[in-house]
């Protein structure tokens, strides 16, 4: 069973800044993905959903749930080699379903390899 464990999350701002400054970057329509190899046995995910674009906490939490679900389902593909991934969400995303989120993240991650 694929779950999203606590050790698969980026926990502190230093980790986020390290990935954003030293890692590579891919920009899509609704997401910016920063990533770099982490030297661990698992990939880790960090999320940035700006309050500037998504004013309500309900909207921000919905976006985070969709991205975490995508990571949970695809972490096996992202684990060779394991990476730290920071996903920055841009404005204009459809919050009704996660399907669009999944499609764009899959296309962006296809450019990582």
The domain limits of the chain are 9-110
Q: What is the mean pLDDT of residues 32-56?
A: 93
Cβ neighbours for 84, distance < 8 A, ≥ 6 positions apart: 10, 15, 18, 19, 23, 35, 36, 37, 38, 43, 44, 46
Q: What is the mean pLDDT of residues 42-64?
A: 94
Whether the per-residue pLDDT at 39 is higher than 70: the answer is yes
Q: What is the mean pLDDT of residues 83-111?
A: 88
Average pLDDT, the chain: 90
CATH class of 9-110: alpha beta
Region at 32 (left for phi over 0; alpha for psi -120 to 50; beta for the rest): beta
Q: What is the mean pLDDT of residues 97-107?
A: 88
89/76 Cα distance (integer angstroms): 22
Query: 25 pairs with which residues across the strands?
Result: 34
Task: With 0.85 as the threshold, say if the pTM is over it.
Answer: yes
Q: What's the pLDDT score for residue 59? A: 92
To which residue do tokens 């920009």 refer? 27
């Amino acid at each position: 069973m694929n779950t999203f464990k606590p050790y698969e999350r980026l926990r502190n701002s230093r980790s986020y800044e390290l990935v954003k400054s030293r890692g590579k970057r891919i920009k899509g329509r609704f997401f910016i993905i920063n990533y770099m190899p982490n030297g661990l046995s698992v990939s880790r995910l960090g999320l940035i959903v700006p309050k500037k674009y998504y004013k309500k906490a309900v909207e921000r939490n919905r976006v985070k749930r969709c991205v975490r679900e995508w990571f949970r389902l695809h972490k096996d593909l992202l684990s060779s080699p394991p990476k730290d991934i920071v996903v920055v969400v841009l404005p204009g995303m459809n919050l009704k379903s996660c399907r669009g989120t999944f499609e764009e993240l899959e296309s962006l991650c296809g450019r990582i390899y």
